[in-house]
Amino acid sequence: MTPAIADALPPIGLAVLQAAGMLAVAPLLKAAIKKMKARLQNRQGPPLLQGYYDLAKLLRKEPVRSETASWVSVAGPRVYFAAAVAATTLVPVLIAAAPLEAAGGILLLVGTLALGRFALATAALDTGSPFGGMGASRDMTIAALAEPALMLGLFTSALAAGSLNLGGLVRNVLQRGGTIHPSDLLAFAGLFIIVIAETGRIPVDNPATHLELTMIHEAMILEYAGPDLALVEWASALKELLYLTLLVDFFLPAGIATSAAPGAIAVALLAWAGKIFLLAIAVTIAESTNAKLRLFRVPELVSISLGLAFLALAIRFL
Amino acid sequence: MTTSDVLILCAAGMLVSAYLMVGQKALFATIRLYGLQSLLLGIVAAVIAVSEARYELFVTAVVTVVLKAMLIPWFLMRVIDRIGIHREIEPFLNVPASLLVCLGLTVVGYRVSTGFPESSRGVSHHLVGVALSMLLTGLFLMVTRKKAITQILALLTVENAVFLVAVGVTSGMPLVVELGIAFDVILAVLVLGILVHRIVDRFESMDVSRLSKLKG
């Protein structure tokens, strides 16, 4: 971490602030995408604060759990939530340094997210409901393909910046200035498909349906109610914001604050919000103009992104 | 962003679109990707026209955008609408395998481009690399797809690749030659469009591999 930032705030304080801020904004992103999608279909759509209302409602309710469920299904949403929150502290959001970047970089980030996914999938299997098992198996199938592509895409940028540490990576990209390499665009295209796949958006999964033939993420969390469901929903929204922030960090870091001066942070906040909004529009358009793929064709889509990410890495060397 | 950044971004965009064409089975989406690719080619021509003060390239840019990004996609979509065949059902090679092959072809194309003296490093290296990769990808697409429309699009992708080198790396072609090429492309697409109609009339399918039944 650069000295100026480290002096201003201890890493733990910064980590808490950043995680709290991201948690506060995450439901808004989900609602904004829903709203834009509705407007594209000439519908009014839910209000922008609907995400918060839903969370408040779910958190007030009493948890209902299956009689056959063990502690695994109690722990699942909590680990999933904790992993998502922990992952946010590894990513630079407003200033060019991740709060806990001393803890680890890209590998830890991917590992933390995988831990959360593992916890949720085991919890889905735990209740013994057929939907849970089906959702878990589908989610894992996609994850097994998406994760290598995610790693390859992230490594391409890391290779260019010469650092596996996310904070160091962003700082290097800022210092190196604006030379663009073709592999940047290839990696971006590959990672964008991965973000769509990982956040359960339409060509891969439909977040708005409970139709048993098609659902993936929703099938996994079908058994949850009340605060457990709230945790899962909140963590999913947080993960989506996290992925978009990653794209912003890697490919459009301009505007991010390099010191802890209030003015720089205010500019960075505006820049970050604007860039996330642009990406949200891109996600909305991708979701509105595509039909959901058959489950057996999802690997094709993910293999495209794997190919793009690999190509990006290969071209970097040529 | 500097000029070379824009050029590299557009070239990389063309490569991505060519790659997505390989992964795509819906014909409409493939045509749109071709339109996007041609638009990016037009932007490349326009940017070079401004940065190197070669204003005759503006004509190339306009012809490219109007003809290849608008007219040809519109015509091909109309052909598809008329005959009502919307998907590439069974290519000779399935999608993941073709993607893998194209990956290898792109690496080969890029590797070969480092051998050109012109392209030791910098923008022209990337332009030649992208163009060679697109050329190989287009040829591959032409060989492995059965639908006549996809084959036309593959041919046009190859043409785009050649154009990218001609505009980006060489000192340009005379305007007469460029216009000649443009008319050639129009004619080729029109003739192939008619051919597609004839094939569909005869076989009720766009599958060109059935043409072999005509002999004897």
Taking a C-beta distance cutoff of 8 angstroms, is the pair A243, A195 a contact?
Answer: yes
How many C-beta neighbours within 10 Å does residue A71 have? Answer: 9
Q: Which of B1, B13, B129 sits opposite A185 (nearest CB)?
A: B13
Element containing residue A84 per DSSP (H, E): helix A71-88
* B96/A299 Cβ within 8 A: yes
Chain B residue with the nearest C-alpha to that of A313: B107
- Asked whether the predicted pLDDT for residue B118 surpasses 70, the reply is no
Please tell me the distance from the alpha carbon of residue B26 to that of residue B85, in angstroms, as a whole number: 10
* B102/A182 Cβ within 8 A: no
Please tell me the distance from the alpha carbon of residue B39 to that of residue A14, in angstroms, as a whole number: 45
**Higher-confidence residue: A276 or B178?**
A276
Burial of A217 (0-12, 13-18, 19+ CB in 10 A): buried
What is the least distance, in Å, from the CA of A189 to any CA of chain B?
Answer: 8
Please tell me the distance from the alpha carbon of residue A158 to that of residue A169, in angstroms, as a whole number: 6
Q: Tell me if chain B has a CB within 8 Å of the CB of A314.
A: yes
Q: Which of B1, B16, B111 sits opposite A308 (nearest CB)?
A: B16
Please report which residue ranges of A162-254 form alpha helices under DSSP H.
166-176, 182-198, 217-220, 226-251
Report the pLDDT value the prediction gives residue A7, as an integer from 0 to 100. 55
**Higher-confidence residue: B88 or B82?**
B82
Report the pLDDT value the prediction gives residue B119, as an integer from 0 to 100. 52
- From the list A72, A51, A36, A104, the residue with the least C-alpha distance to A285 is A36
Q: Encoding tokens for residue A129?
A: 């409901």
Secondary structure letter of residue B147 according to DSSP:
B
Q: Which residues of chain B are within 8 Å of residue A179 when distances are taken between CB atoms?
A: 4-5
What is the least distance, in Å, from the CA of B32 to any CA of chain A?
Answer: 12
Report the pLDDT value the prediction gives residue A235, as an integer from 0 to 100. 95
Q: Tell me if chain B has a CB within 8 Å of the CB of A197.
A: no
Q: Encoding tokens for residue A45?
A: 């759509």
Q: Encoding tokens for residue A264?
A: 């720089």
Q: Which residues of chain B are within 8 Å of residue A254 when distances are taken between CB atoms?
A: none
- Asked whether the predicted pLDDT for residue B117 surpasses 80, the reply is no
Phi/psi of residue A223, each to 5°?
-80, -10
Q: Report how far apart, in Å, the C-alpha atoms of B88 and of each of A275, B3, B167, B200 are.
A: 37, 38, 32, 14
Q: Report how far apart, in Å, the C-alpha atoms of A264 and of each of A6, A137, B40 are.
A: 16, 45, 35
Q: Report how far apart, in Å, the C-alpha atoms of B109 and of each of A143, A241, B126 are.
A: 31, 37, 10
Report the pLDDT value the prediction gives residue B216, as an integer from 0 to 100. 64
* A181/B106 Cβ within 8 A: no
Q: Which of B8, B23, B96 sits opposite A182 (nearest CB)?
A: B8
Element containing residue A48 per DSSP (H, E): none
- Asked whether the predicted pLDDT for residue B173 surpasses 80, the reply is no
Please tell me the distance from the alpha carbon of residue A26 to that of residue A200, in angstroms, as a whole number: 15
Secondary structure letter of residue B211 according to DSSP:
G
- From the list A42, A29, A43, A74, the residue with the least C-alpha distance to A195 is A29
* A304/B8 Cβ within 8 A: no
Q: Report how far apart, in Å, the C-alpha atoms of A159 and of each of A111, A244, B95 are.
A: 19, 20, 29
Q: Which residue has the tokens 């608008």?
A: B70
The segment with the largest mean pLDDT, out of A56-60, B172-176, B185-189, is A56-60
How many C-beta neighbours within 10 Å does residue A49 have? Answer: 12
- Ranges of residues in chain A with a pLDDT under 70 are 1-9, 177-178
Name the residue type at position A15. Answer: A
Cα angle: B4, vertex B5, B11; to 5 degrees = 85
Report the pLDDT value the prediction gives residue A1, as an integer from 0 to 100. 45
Taking a C-beta distance cutoff of 8 angstroms, is the pair A136, A124 a contact?
Answer: yes
Please tell me the distance from the alpha carbon of residue B105 to that of residue B50, in angstroms, as a whole number: 33
Please tell me the distance from the alpha carbon of residue A135 to that of residue A212, in angstroms, as a whole number: 9
Report the pLDDT value the prediction gives residue B177, as an integer from 0 to 100. 84
How many C-beta neighbours within 10 Å does residue B87 have? Answer: 10
Domain boundaries, chain B: 3-208
* A180/B8 Cβ within 8 A: yes
The segment with the largest mean pLDDT, out of A213-222, B101-110, B176-185, is B101-110
What is the least distance, in Å, from the CA of A293 to any CA of chain B?
Answer: 12
